Amino acid sequence: MYKDLLKQALAKFFLGVILLGLLIFLPAWSFHYWQGWLLMGILFVPMFIAGLVMMANNPDLLRKRLNAKEQEAEQKTVVKLSGALFIAAFVVAGLNWRFGWWVLPDWAVWVAAGVFLGSYLLYAEVLRENTYLSRTIEVQQNQKVIDTGLYGIVRHPMYMATTILFLAMPLVLASPISFIIMLGYIPVIARRIGNEEKVLEEGLEGYAEYKEKVKYRILPFIW
């Protein structure tokens, strides 16, 4: 069982590396796009380490994170919209670097990389706090409401972390144009959250009370 899980994890990991590399470097038409290599490094090295940690300590969580097949029709639409945004943002970033349309200075790229890594730490903390985290919208057997730690501040700290991560990506790639494209992720994730909360409120005992206790979804004191 663990051998199959390891094969699945490695296959998805290397497929992700190849696909992102193609999306970034083909439009740039150069391997000298160092911002692209920077993003690949800060994205995939921590991801690989996190995968090894989950494989050793919590293989069930890793299995859940690898399952990306949505059952909810609403979420299937959200996944398609998110995928289109990512493809557009990465391709435009490569073209932006190639033709020099609007390229951020190096210091801004490094600041964005720092924000990205900080958000990765936040992401890791959420995984530590909530072992029910699946990539799909579902209510799992014996699932309980988590209301401590970051979940005592906002209802969806995972989406808080990933939103920051995703908005930082185009800035690491030195492309403000791609950042503008990626802003479209905000209404997409809002749509996902709305549907997810409906599913959880209907199927997870205590979630309605949790919503009353923790008022904010992903931004404390704002939303």
Q: Inform me whether the pLDDT recorded for 140 exceeds 70.
A: no
Average pLDDT of the residues of the chain: 87
124 against 41, higher pLDDT: 41
Alpha carbon 13 to chain centroid distance? 14
- Which pLDDT value is given to residue 144? 77
SS percent in the chain: helix, strand, coil, step 5: 75, 0, 25
pLDDT at 219 over 90: no
| DSSP secondary structure letter of residue 131 | T
- Arithmetic mean of pLDDT, 159-165: 92
What span, in angstroms and rounded, lies between the C-alpha atoms of 172 and 154? 27
Q: Read off the pLDDT of residues 172-217 as tens digits, 9 standing for 90 and up.
A: 999 999 999 999 999 998 888 888 888 888 877 888 888 888 888 9
How many angstroms separate the CA atoms of 17 and 13, rounded? 6
* pTM of the predicted model as reported, rounded to 2 decimal places: 0.89
Question: Which residue shows structure tokens 């435009």?
Answer: 92
Q: Is the pLDDT of residue 222 over 60?
A: yes
pLDDT at residue 160 above 60? yes
- Residues 216, 149: contact at Cβ < 8 Å? no
pLDDT of residue 70: 61
Three-class DSSP category at 53: helix
Q: What was the pLDDT predicted at 135?
A: 52
Q: Over 70: is that where the pLDDT of 112 sits?
A: yes
Q: How confident is the model at residue 17 (pLDDT cuts 50, 70, 90)?
A: very high
d(C-alpha 136, C-alpha 212), whole Å: 24
The fold of 2-213 is Four Helix Bundle (Hemerythrin (Met), subunit A) (1.20.120)
* pLDDT at position 93: 98
User: Does the structure show a pLDDT above 90 at 89?
Assistant: yes
Q: Say how far apart CA 174 and CA 97 lie, in whole Å.
A: 8
Q: Percentage of residues in the chain with pLDDT exceeding 90? A: 44
pLDDT in tens, 63-85: 777 766 666 666 778 888 889 99
**Rg over CA atoms, the chain:** 18
Amino acid at 72: E
Choose from 4-13, 127-136, 181-190 the range with maximum mean pLDDT: 181-190
Confidence of residue 54 (pLDDT cuts 50, 70, 90): confident
The answer to whether 170 and 179 have CB atoms below 8 angstroms apart is: yes
Q: Tell me the average pLDDT across 109-127.
A: 92
Burial profile 65-97: b = 16 or more Cβ within 10 angstroms, e = fewer: bbeeebebebbeebbebbeebbeebbbbbbbbb
Average pLDDT rounded to a whole number, residues 120-140: 71
